[in-house]
Structure 1
Amino acid sequence: MDRYQEDQITVRNVRPPRGPVGALALLLTATGLVVTTAGAATAAPHYERPPSVQVGWTDSATPDKAYQVGETHFPLGAWQDESGQARVSRVYATFDLSAFEGKKVYGGSVFIQEQSAADCTKRAIEIWRTKPVGATPTWNTAPAPLSKIDEVLTTGFCPASLTFDVGAALRDAAANRQRRVTFEIRVPAQHEADPSYGRRLNWYRSVLATVQYNSLPTVDNARLYNGGFPCTQLKPYPRIGGTAHVIQVVGNDADDSDQRALRTEVALWPTGDSAARTVFTSEHGSAGRANTIRLPEGTLVDGQTYAWQARVGDGADLSAWSKKCYFRYDATRPPTPTVTSSNYPRWEGSAQTPKGVPGIFTFSGNGKKDVAGFEYSWSGLGVPGVCEYSGDAGQLVCRDPFSRPNTVRADTPGGTATVSLSPTGSGPQRLTVRALDSAGNASAEHVYEVFVPSAEPEVTVENGPPVWGQEILLRFRPRDGVTGVVEYEVVLDSGEAETRTAEEDGTAYFRFTATDVDGHQVKVRSRSGNGFVSPWTTWSHVFLPWPGVRSEVYPSTGEPSGGVGVPGSFTFSRPPGGTDVTAYRYAFDDAEPTEVAADANGEATITWTPSTSGWCTLTVYAVRADGSQYDYANWYSFQVAESTP
């Protein structure tokens, strides 16, 4: 039987089932009433069928023989065999309760199904709890009875499925950690020898049982969180700001169907005033996850210290209360800091910062003890805080506010901090600063504006126009006025940053092979020995989807070059991604196309001598090994001078 009990058990007992099974629906069918369930239980408590250890019967006429229930309907009470001999039988069923250790047992039932009855106007059946057995006993070795548990004395539907309430026996067995429970089913002593009370029980239904139970939910005392910080009982209690209203609890429940239906309760009270204890509730929590209680606005009072504890429930039972946790609520923003600089004057229309020198800035809390430190940025400050829902159980995790980049602690509460900063851009630049307290609250912003001259390094290509598939050599040089450059930080496309050591004159080189058909981007900034870091500058090149053409005598600059009768060479290179180029087809103006083979590097060079001056267009296609040409042509235009220079 699955949850609750078997899906359909015919009931011909005129009384409704007692105890927890009475909650099951009774449906009328063609053969009688049917106890049925619409599906598995979804909330505690739960029903489960315990495994059978033995189901069998005894016979007074063969007192030393035990009979196991097989594929034959079996007797209960007085009956006669084929020879007319009178016999009396009792039924024994033992169930294994080990699966319910550590769980709370609410009750349970035993079910039998009558196959036939000697007289349907008479019914008297008792169920007793006996000492547990491991195998079906004989009439002579019957286990000692402990107590009568239930009985059915009513008539009505016949034959019928009968239900016995054995909750008391199951609860007692669970309380005493007994792994087996044995039941004896018999006709009462005063009727046991009367054949009119005898009947046969259905072998297929046998003797079945259900246990109504619940695994008690628990609170994980190591997984209690307040405002993104673990629970603590140590003084001084932590000061928590805007996240203090978020309390999270990890609960557990061994029952699968309860693991997404936990109720979380949090009791909160001001320390020293337990009478003001208030309980807040959240539904639909999940086992093993951080279930959240959000305290209503106005619950917490600024400056007040609070205690809290939690418990979880599954709809049937509640866990014990967790240990107590403490915090102090701090909702007061610290005062705005002041900012001064010894070498970066405020910009008031004319003053500039020195080139290539980091700025020295001093932040001050002006003696206000609530100021623990400062946060600053050249690009503006976002929402204050260092909290995110990134915990392994989905809990809010908040870090020390001074663990973030661009933060600095004051030398004393309300004191000062001095930092050395390089601007991240040129022109008007705004340094934004705000004060932080130990709870992570942030002050209003102070903006310090300066004017920064350009200090980005210069980038030039040293080995001619970039060609796809070939090496590109970049040269870095400090901006005029920036001295003492010792290295450059370089980022190719979206890769990791690399460094290049500068030569004595501040220059450095960076080589890479052009492998991206779309082109490349290089970001670079310089670092000087005095700590100055320049703003980033970007060099980029986009590859066009046709073959490359280059000529020193006839460059495509628009200016007249070469001259009539002056030969010039033209070098063709592969279009981006053109790994299968074997030749090039080219034509000057309206001339017939000519084909030239490519070398091992995918290049080809031709020489051409103009016979007229003026504008000329060279059309070039890349050609594959099968003779097909690429889709895009390079129309390379240049101007031939009227005479030889």
Structure 2
Amino acid sequence: MPDRNPRRTGRRSVLAAALSIVVAAGSVVATAAPAAAYDMRYETNASWAWTDSHSPTTINIDRPGDVPVGTWKDERGRPHTSRAYFTFDISRYRGADIQSAVLDVKETAGGDCTRRPVVELRRTAAYTARSSWRNPPADLGLVDSRQLTDQTVCPAPRVEFDAIEGLRQALAEGRSTLTLSLRLPADAERDPALARKYATKVGISIDYNFRPGVPTELQSETGTACTTTEPYQVIRYPVPSGVVHDRDRNSGGGTDQLTVSFAAWPVDQPEARIEQTDYARDGERAFGRYDNMYPSPFEHDRTYAWQMRAADSRATGEWSPVCYFRLDVQGPATPPVVTSTDFPDDDGWYPALPGEFTFTANGAADVVRYGYSLDSGVEKTIDADRAGGTATVTLTPDSGPNTLRVWSLDAVGNRSATTEYTFRATDVSPVVEGRLSEIGVPATFQLRPQMDGVVRYRYALDGEPEQTVDAAADGSAAITVTATRGGSRTLTVTSVTAGGVEATSSRQFALPTAPKISATVYLPVPSGGQGVPGVFTFTPRLPDTVSYRYQFTGEDQQVVAAKADGTASVTWAPTEAGTVILVVRSVSRDGTVSEPATLSFRVRDLRPAVSADPYRTDVPMGGPGQPGEFRFTSPLTTTVAFLYRFDDGAEQRVETGNRATVSWTPTEGGTHTLTVVGVTADGTRSPEQVWTFLVNDAPQVQSAER
């Protein structure tokens, strides 16, 4: 939100006509100032009225037309003496400090413009329908008076009065409305030459400010309400804070930036006051930044008091209630003692089963809890059974050397030095031999114990019911596990002794859900060819497969229904040679889509290969009349002949197996084409090979001399 304007030094005159204002939607904004919660508002009257001595028992309320002040005559020449009243809603200004209040009225007519009467602005009680000339609203005193000079335009478009005292008095009395009256002094009120008329709409330019409120929600440390009476809270890091309040708003809802002062002092040395400053806006929490000071101004085991207040650029709010705290920054003096009968610290090896560890305070009476971590794992805490007492935890170590780190904590969280307790554990979890590799395919696992007395095993794949199998006399067992879904799966096996001692092993397996793809004809090595069909068979890994989505490179995705056994086959023939990737996904009856399976293969090019001498495809060679040799090679050993033609000439045949050489002499230069087709013994024709080559426009001239 934008900051409020700094207050200008030197107060302007309340009647300064040079004040440049813009009146819009009831607000007055200084034209030279940036947008801010600037405390100025143009308040227009909510109602108007005037009384008439000629109709002494009635009052004209909100009557259209101008309002008369002084003595005037009607069309029959009868004199009327009138007083005008204007009522304003001032409820929004309750509790505000009023800096200025300038009433401006528009003069619409004057009895004699050469004579300028004194016009009084008086505060009155509110008028009602029972008010009248004879029963006027109670006069509450003169607020201001104004006499225009002879140089002022008549009627004057703007006449200003200082209304600050009237507004302040009404607010001090707790009123929601302010009624101001315009009239002439008693010695001038009967002179028709001095009468005036005014527009019914008038306004007051009010410069005001709400004093910041008393901060609330006080905290000596983050998240904990402060204490104001004994026993005072004990804390480690004093960060006093509170929520500040200020009612000022600009037309866009912007708020003041408040300067928040924090004062703290030792209760036994109030003159050692330490002050800090923060900045915040209405409804925000401000903080005393004592934690940023080095060295800390606070001492261990000493009691401090603090309070805060907020100020805007015009006024300073009241101090908050006083909060107190005692500072404790020292942890327990001695580190804890750690003991365990399950894992003694004697360099021996003990089964890696759950064991108990006991922590004692080692004489530190302020210990209320303990912190610990095993082998640099997650730090945990446990409460002591009493202040300075003990605590016991049960931990299951990994096999091998282990280090348990333990420290004591006092009531506010200060830590003692750390004790390191080292012990050794042997692996007693069961040995699990076997592998789970496919969904729906049973897998056998052999189980062997690593501790004596094992009589049974419990086992389960994650998310599936646990099962039990009895162990043989030597403690071994065999189990069969079938996965019903893929992904990352965990097999958990727990060995159990006759005495109920348990040890657990876990094995993880990644089970693919992508279907399997097999193919005829097409292999990773070049095979098949243009127009040669191949059969591709899809076998599911997911259960209850009903269809497959498949796509060959460069083609749209297709769907094929699965047979009763979940498999499906498609026949496909390529139109081009090169690398092709087939992507396949299976779809189960419940809509589950598998991971994609891919098969990459290379389609053999069945077109004959062509080369020539001297002619080439990229550079003009030879020339008209110069013969060339053209060589054909088929990738199929079953080829027995080639059909060929140059440009648009007649097709010719050469029968020399899967290799052939022919001669041809161009008659003109430029671009030429050679079309070649291989033919097998059964008459099968290969795809056409169209070979384009370039011929010089003129024959090459060769010298007999070299």
Q: Which bracket does the TM-score occupy, shorter chain normalised?
A: 0.5 to 0.7
1:247 matched to 2:240? The reply is yes
Q: Quick one: distance in 1 between partners of 2:444 and 2:193?
A: 110
1:466 matched to 2:438? The reply is yes
1:422 matched to 2:369? The reply is no
1:75 matched to 2:86? The reply is no
Q: For the structure 1 residues 477 and 582, does the alpha-carbon distance in structure 2 shift closer, same or farther, using more than 3 Å as the test? A: same
- 1:497-518: CA deviation from partner (whole Å, max 9, x where unpaired): x984756659999987527xxx
Q: Quick one: distance in 1 between partners of 2:375 and 2:410?
A: 22
Letter aligned with residue 433 of structure 1: V
Counterparts of 1:523-538 in structure 2, within 5 Å, are 537=506
Instruction: Pick from 458, 480, 483 the counterpart of residue 450 of structure 2.
Output: 480
Q: For the structure 1 residues 540 and 113, does the alpha-carbon distance in structure 2 shift closer, same or farther, using more than 3 Å as the test? A: farther
Q: Quick one: distance in 1 between partners of 2:324 and 2:419?
A: 34
Corresponding residue SS for 2:165: helix
Instruction: Pick from 433, 447, 455 the counterpart of residue 406 of structure 2.
Output: 433
Is the Cα–Cα contact under 8 Å of residues 55 and 136 in structure 1 kept in the other structure?
A: no
Q: How far apart are 1:361 and its partner, in Å?
A: 2.5
Q: For the structure 1 residues 132 and 153, does the alpha-carbon distance in structure 2 shift closer, same or farther, using more than 3 Å as the test? A: same
Q: What is the aligned partner in structure 1 of residue 590 from structure 2?
A: none
Q: Quick one: distance in 2 between partners of 1:218 and 1:82?
A: 62
Q: What is the aligned partner in structure 1 of residue 173 from structure 2?
A: 176
Is the Cα–Cα contact under 8 Å of residues 121 and 183 in structure 2 kept in the other structure?
A: yes
1:133 matched to 2:127? The reply is yes
- 1:23-61: CA deviation from partner (whole Å, max 9, x where unpaired): x972399xxxx97534898448x4456674521223344
Is the Cα–Cα contact under 8 Å of residues 502 and 508 in structure 1 kept in the other structure?
A: no
Q: Could you say what the CA RMSD is over the residues aligned between the two structures, in angstroms? A: 5.0
Instruction: Pick from 497, 514, 521 the counterpart of residue 485 of structure 2.
Output: 514
Q: What is the aligned partner in structure 1 of residue 210 from structure 2?
A: 214
Corresponding residue SS for 1:274: coil
Structure 1 gap ranges (5+): 5-14, 383-404, 493-497, 550-569, 586-594, 607-618, 637-645
Counterparts of 1:76-475 in structure 2, within 5 Å, are 76-82=69-75, 85-101=78-94, 108-117=101-110, 118-119=112-113, 122-135=116-129, 137-155=131-149, 156-158=151-153, 159-203=156-200, 205-208=201-204, 210=206, 212=208, 214=210, 217-220=213-216, 223-233=218-228, 235-241=230-236, 244-256=237-249, 261-287=257-283, 289-295=284-290, 296-297=293-294, 298-334=296-332, 335-346=334-345, 351-355=348-352, 357-380=353-376, 406-410=380-384, 413-423=387-397, 425-454=398-427, 465-467=437-439
Q: How far apart are 1:230 and its partner, in Å?
A: 2.0
Q: What is the aligned partner in structure 1 of residue 547 from structure 2?
A: 581
Q: Quick one: distance in 1 between partners of 2:102 and 2:478?
A: 90
Q: For the structure 1 residues 285 and 96, does the alpha-carbon distance in structure 2 shift closer, same or farther, using more than 3 Å as the test? A: closer
Give the structure-2-normalised TM-score.
0.61
Is the Cα–Cα contact under 8 Å of residues 515 and 585 in structure 2 kept in the other structure?
A: no
How many percent of aligned residue pairs carry the same amino acid?
A: 27
Letter aligned with residue 225 of structure 2: P
Q: Quick one: distance in 2 between partners of 1:84 and 1:60?
A: 14
1:541 matched to 2:529? The reply is no
Q: Quick one: distance in 2 between partners of 1:531 and 1:283?
A: 65
Corresponding residue SS for 1:276: coil
Corresponding residue SS for 1:275: coil
Corresponding residue SS for 1:302: coil
Instruction: Pick from 555, 567, 585 the counterpart of residue 603 of structure 1.
Output: 567
Letter aligned with residue 451 of structure 2: G
Q: What is the aligned partner in structure 2 of residue 609 from structure 1?
A: none
Q: For the structure 1 residues 509 and 85, does the alpha-carbon distance in structure 2 shift closer, same or farther, using more than 3 Å as the test? A: farther
Letter aligned with residue 485 of structure 2: A
Q: Quick one: distance in 2 between partners of 1:531 and 1:353?
A: 17
Is the Cα–Cα contact under 8 Å of residues 114 and 199 in structure 1 kept in the other structure?
A: yes
Tell which deviates more after alignment, 74-83 or 478-487. 478-487
Q: Quick one: distance in 1 between partners of 2:455 and 2:316?
A: 70
Corresponding residue SS for 1:541: strand
Corresponding residue SS for 2:392: strand
Q: Quick one: distance in 2 between partners of 1:509 and 1:315?
A: 81
Q: How far apart are 1:128 and its partner, in Å?
A: 0.5
- 1:517-541: CA deviation from partner (whole Å, max 9, x where unpaired): xx23438585979998868845131
Letter aligned with residue 167 of structure 1: I
Q: Quick one: distance in 1 between partners of 2:163 and 2:62?
A: 21
Q: How far apart are 1:161 and its partner, in Å?
A: 2.0
Q: Quick one: distance in 2 between partners of 1:412 and 1:79?
A: 95
Instruction: Pick from 45, 59, 65 the counterpart of residue 66 of structure 1.
Output: 59
Is the Cα–Cα contact under 8 Å of residues 77 and 89 in structure 1 kept in the other structure?
A: yes
Letter aligned with residue 341 of structure 2: S
Larger radius of gyration: 2
Q: For the structure 1 residues 181 and 596, does the alpha-carbon distance in structure 2 shift closer, same or farther, using more than 3 Å as the test? A: closer
Q: Quick one: distance in 2 between partners of 1:28 and 1:48?
A: 10
Q: How far apart are 1:89 and its partner, in Å?
A: 3.0
Q: Quick one: distance in 1 between partners of 2:335 and 2:210?
A: 57
Q: How far apart are 1:16 and its partner, in Å?
A: 6.4
Q: Quick one: distance in 2 between partners of 1:25 and 1:142?
A: 36
Q: For the structure 1 residues 508 and 89, does the alpha-carbon distance in structure 2 shift closer, same or farther, using more than 3 Å as the test? A: farther
- 1:420-452: CA deviation from partner (whole Å, max 9, x where unpaired): 2112x4444332222212221123333333444
Is the Cα–Cα contact under 8 Å of residues 575 and 622 in structure 1 kept in the other structure?
A: no
Give the structure-1-normalised TM-score.
0.66
Q: For the structure 1 residues 600 and 94, does the alpha-carbon distance in structure 2 shift closer, same or farther, using more than 3 Å as the test? A: farther
Tell which deviates more after alignment, 407-416 or 53-62. 407-416
Q: For the structure 1 residues 207 and 437, does the alpha-carbon distance in structure 2 shift closer, same or farther, using more than 3 Å as the test? A: closer
Q: What is the aligned partner in structure 1 of residue 689 from structure 2?
A: none
Letter aligned with residue 230 of structure 1: A
Q: Quick one: distance in 2 between partners of 1:91 and 1:542?
A: 94
Q: What is the aligned partner in structure 2 of residue 57 from structure 1?
A: 50
Structure 2 gap ranges (5+): 5-10, 472-476, 519-535, 552-558, 571-580, 588-594, 602-706
Q: What is the aligned partner in structure 2 of residue 553 from structure 1?
A: none
Q: How far apart are 1:120 and its partner, in Å?
A: 6.4
Is the Cα–Cα contact under 8 Å of residues 457 and 537 in structure 1 kept in the other structure?
A: no
Q: For the structure 1 residues 143 and 36, does the alpha-carbon distance in structure 2 shift closer, same or farther, using more than 3 Å as the test? A: same
Q: For the structure 1 residues 526 and 240, does the alpha-carbon distance in structure 2 shift closer, same or farther, using more than 3 Å as the test? A: farther
